[in-house]
Chains A and B, each alone.
Chain A
Amino acid sequence: MTTTSVGTVVTELETDVVVSAVRRLATDVVELTLAAPDGRPLAPWTPGAHVDLLLGDDLVRQYSLCSSPADPTAYRVAVLRTPDSRGGSIAVHALAEGAPLRIRGPRNNFALLSAPRYAFVAGGIGITPLLPMIEEAEAAGADWHLFYGGRSRASMAYLAELEKYAGCVTLVPQDEAGMLDLDTIVGTPDPGRLVYCCGPEPLLNAVEERCASWPHGSLHLERFAAKEVEREGEDETFEIVLQRSGLTLTVAPDATVFQTMRDAGVSVLGSCLEGICGTCETGVLEGEVDHRDSVLDPDEQAEMDCMMVCVSRCRGDRLVLDA
């Protein structure tokens, strides 16, 4: 099939940057400053945003921006070297000052909603998206507190930067103070307070469990890996109607909506293809979605007005999409 019926191509912005500074922040954590080669402003962003680093053929990794949106000339990312990584963090750690790099984005699935009070919960390198959030919460005069756990002080990035917020920060290095005491931190629902949490999967799951009794929409998580989704039975065939393109397509049990749209020449964005980055978000005009992503929270999923087409499917036999 050709693309003649659908002449529109939607892509995310890709920008060529250079690594303008490299800083070792903590054991196994390196910070890169990225800037346009000519120093021109980069695309604006808001706290919680991340970019893709295009590290080589098929090696694309997402990292949260941890600098300040107030500085349009540079992005900063901090990357933990992980031995079991598929090579992304090792490639990043090999980058030297002056190295050229291509990035995609920014995009944001972890946006900071305006609120009077916040609990920020960071595990290890999960501190990165929370730094610009803290800057904004502080500027807005919100009542906020950061609970930051890590293996040891030496492994925890940005401790010096956090010193100025002394009274609002609780540091919990595991070798001195054990684990984050989540029962105290988020054990009791606190209406009006928003919880932003980023870190390893066990921390996210533990926080998610305790926040289940909080008002809907209180908890915001950023995942580094896809969450396990239980499946009931076999995947079924269903139909998708693409309203703008004027196409009706059939999604086979072994195909994704994303792949089906791509095969038909319909422009749809994709990056992780695992339901974690939010790139492939597509508006849903009709039908019930079987959500299988890790991007939308339960409230957003219940609204049924958008879906991650790289993983999510249909609960009935037909979806009408804004595509």
Chain B
Amino acid sequence: MSHDPAAHTTAPARRCPDVPHHAWYAAATTEEVGRTPLARRVLGTPVALYRTSDGAAVALEDRCAHRPVPLSDGRVDGDDIVAAYTGFRYAPDGRCVGVPTQVQVPFGAAVRCFPVHDDGSFVWVWAGDPRLAALRPAPDTSWLRDPAWSTFGGAWETGASIALLLDNFADITHVAHVDPEIAPLALGAAPPPLQVTVTETTMRFARDYPPAPLADWNAQVLELPADAAHAQREEGEFVAPGLWVDRWHVYVEGHGDADGTHSFVFTHALTPVDERTTRHVWRVSRNFTPSAAAEGTLAPIFERYYGRVRDVLETMQRVVDVDGPRPEVRVAADAAASAVRRIVERLVAEETGTR
């Protein structure tokens, strides 16, 4: 008889086949994970998250090895999690360390344990071969914990594949159609040239806008006159399969104390729940006007905008579900989206050993 824990688990078919598994995904925010188990799904696999007595985050496959009950329906005891109904007890590394009906623990009984990285903002879970996690650093989101930045945000599940979300972030020229009020006035004219910068695993794009007045809400939170024109810069970055970051910079000159670069950073942690559902945690950070009043102005605007994006993406997913995928006509603005698709396809090919 084998004592190898892996011997008790047969390899399931690859779930979410078009998504990199050798990647870090934000299964939860740091505050969400505590001493009460939290149930999430990551790439089609149920995951139970909790903290040990010294506060370390743990992610285990959310299914008891004995009967199909979720561990997250059970309780945390010391450093272990005890399944409801079966009473099987699992250590933070996934090994079964106690069963109620016998003294001898069944040899090799275990549930899958996911490598985790808790950076103080997100609990990142490594969805692929756990032995490779140490070779791929989790992405950096340190601005979310930097006192120079004020941050608010929201989170929900979008009923669309992560590919549709990435395509959306790679080309925000549709903003004016989704939400005319939030759209920067600079976007009104034909967009300036798109500068796309690639590496093996990342893609960034930028557009520099000539001076234009700000949208009313933007001038208001910057405490600037509504009609003054400012140069602006838009940036988007595919940092990793589970993290997209956008930035919007407003360069203010000739307004005394208000002069300087006023920046928004929009952080999007994207976690495939299954092939057509994506967990989307969004954060809006700014390095100006930290007041609660400014947040009171901004929060509903962004909540509405990202909500409308979610609705559009869910519609797209429904069209694809009902009518099937189809080759799409490409335009110049797709250069960023194409670069991201190529990176994702390559990462999937590497980890599956196929091309």
Contact = CB atoms under 8 A, between A and B. Distances in A.
B335 interface: yes
A46 B339 contact: no
Contacts of A106: 199-200
Contacts of A44: 136-137, 199-202, 240
Contacts of B333: 8
Contacts of B346: 111
A11 B197 contact: yes
Contacts of A250: none
Interface in B119-143: 129, 131-132, 134-137, 140
A215 to B, nearest CB: 12
A98 interface: no
Interface in B188-211: 191-202, 204
Contacts of A113: 349-350, 353-355
B350 A68 contact: no
A322 B338 contact: yes
A297 to B, nearest CB: 9
B338 A9 contact: no
A243 interface: yes
Given A106-B199, A107-B199, A13 B349 contact: no
B134 A10 contact: no
Interface string A199-241: 0000000000000000001000000000000000000000000
A43 B137 contact: no
Interface stretch (A134-142, A163-171, A308-316): A134-142
B332 interface: yes
Contact of A8 (B137, B194, B201): B194
Interface of A is mostly: loop
B200 A49 contact: yes
Nearest to B196: A10
A276 interface: no
Interface in A72-100: 72
Contacts of B354: 113
User: Which residue, of A3, A113, A136, has the highest number of chain B Cβ atoms within 10 A?
Assistant: A113
Interface string B202-242: 10100000000000000000000000000000000000100
A152 interface: no
A72 B193 contact: no
Contacts of B335: 8, 10, 244, 267
A107 B202 CA distance: 10
A253 to B, nearest CB: 29
A114 interface: yes
A115 interface: yes
B352 to A, nearest CB: 6
Contacts of B199: 12-13, 43-45, 105-107
Contact of B353 (A11, A46, A115): A115
B123 to A, nearest CB: 20
Contacts of A114: 350-353
A245 interface: yes
Contacts of A269: 198
B334 interface: yes
B322 interface: no
A39 to B, nearest CB: 12
Contacts of A16: none
B194 A43 contact: no
B1 interface: no
Given A8-B194, A11-B197, A244 B135 contact: no
B292 interface: no
A141 B132 CA distance: 10
A70 B351 contact: no
Given A139-B132, A139-B134, A244-B335, A10 B353 contact: no
User: Which residue, of B140, B192, B194, B201, has the highest number of chain A Cβ atoms within 10 A?
Assistant: B201
Nearest to B347: A46
B330 interface: yes
B193 A43 contact: no
Nearest to A136: B135
B350 A43 contact: no
B350 A45 contact: no
B350 A70 contact: no
B194 A13 contact: no
A70 B195 contact: no
A269 B342 CA distance: 15
Interface in B3-43: none
B331 interface: yes
A176 interface: no
A46 B350 contact: yes
Interface in B315-355: 330-335, 338-339, 342, 346, 349-355
A139 B353 CA distance: 16
A250 B220 CA distance: 53
A41 interface: yes
Given A139-B132, A217-B355, A283-B338, A12 B198 contact: yes
B200 A9 contact: no
B354 to A, nearest CB: 8
A74 B204 CA distance: 21
Interface in A269-299: 269, 283, 299
A113 B349 CA distance: 7
A217 B339 CA distance: 24
Interface string A24-35: 000000000000
A14 B195 CA distance: 13
27 contacts: A3-B193, A6-B332, A8-B194, A8-B196, A11-B198, A12-B197, A12-B199, A43-B201, A44-B199, A44-B201, A46-B350, A69-B136, A70-B134, A70-B137, A105-B200, A106-B199, A107-B200, A111-B349, A111-B350, A112-B350, A136-B135, A140-B129, A141-B131, A243-B330, A244-B331, A244-B335, A322-B330
In order of increasing CB-CB distance, the 3 nearest A-B pairs are A7-B193, A114-B353, A43-B199
Given A7-B192, A9-B195, A43-B201, 4 more contacts: A8-B332, A43-B200, A43-B202, A269-B198
